[in-house]
Amino acid sequence: AQSVTQPDIHITVSEGASLELRCNYSYGATPYLFWYVQSPGQGLQLLLKYFSGDTLVQGIKGFEAEFKRSQSSFNLRKPSVHWSDAAEYFCAVIYNFNKFYFGSGTKLNVKP
């Protein structure tokens, strides 16, 4: 069965520090992977996506993610976190054509 696991429910980092949010997937075929960000009370905004090609993908707001097939992972990274990055982050995989399966989310808190 397809699944997406985000092992960290909450993460706190200091402003200016680096960030890595973990995402592992279980899917038999070639995955199509996404990271979305959700600010409180808002909808989901697409950060980046991986369909094929270069396994390191660049997104908006200075985020990047690396697809590692051997580890079934698609971790999100940012070299220097800003206070405005505090939000909830969702990893998602597409299965069955257009149907998304979301991870449970990671809430990011940024300390000043």
Partner 1 sequence: DAMVIQNPRYQVTQFGKPVTLSCSQTLNHNVMYWYQQKSSQAPKLLFHYYDKDFNNEADTPDNFQSRRPNTSFCFLDIRSPGLGDAAMYLCATSRGQRGSTDTQYFGPGTRLTVL
Rule CB under 8 A: which residues touch partner 1? 32, 34, 36, 41-46, 49, 51, 90, 94, 97-100, 102-105, 107
Nearer to partner 1, 14 or 51 (CB): 51
Closest distance to partner 1 from the beta carbon of 48 (Å): 10
Nearer to partner 1, 63 or 90 (CB): 90
State both tokens at 54. 């270069």
Per the DSSP assignment, residues forming a β-bridge with 38 are 44, 88
Angle at 28 between CA 73 and CA 100, to 5 degrees: 70
Place of tokens 């808190």: 109
Nearer to partner 1, 21 or 105 (CB): 105
Closest distance to partner 1 from the beta carbon of 18 (Å): 25
Radius of gyration (Cα) for the chain, nearest Å? 13
Closest distance to partner 1 from the beta carbon of 100 (Å): 6
How far apart, in whole angstroms, are the C-alpha atoms of residue 72 and residue 89? 18
Question: Number of C-alpha atoms within 13 angstroms, CB side, residue 20?
Answer: 6
Nearer to partner 1, 51 or 83 (CB): 51
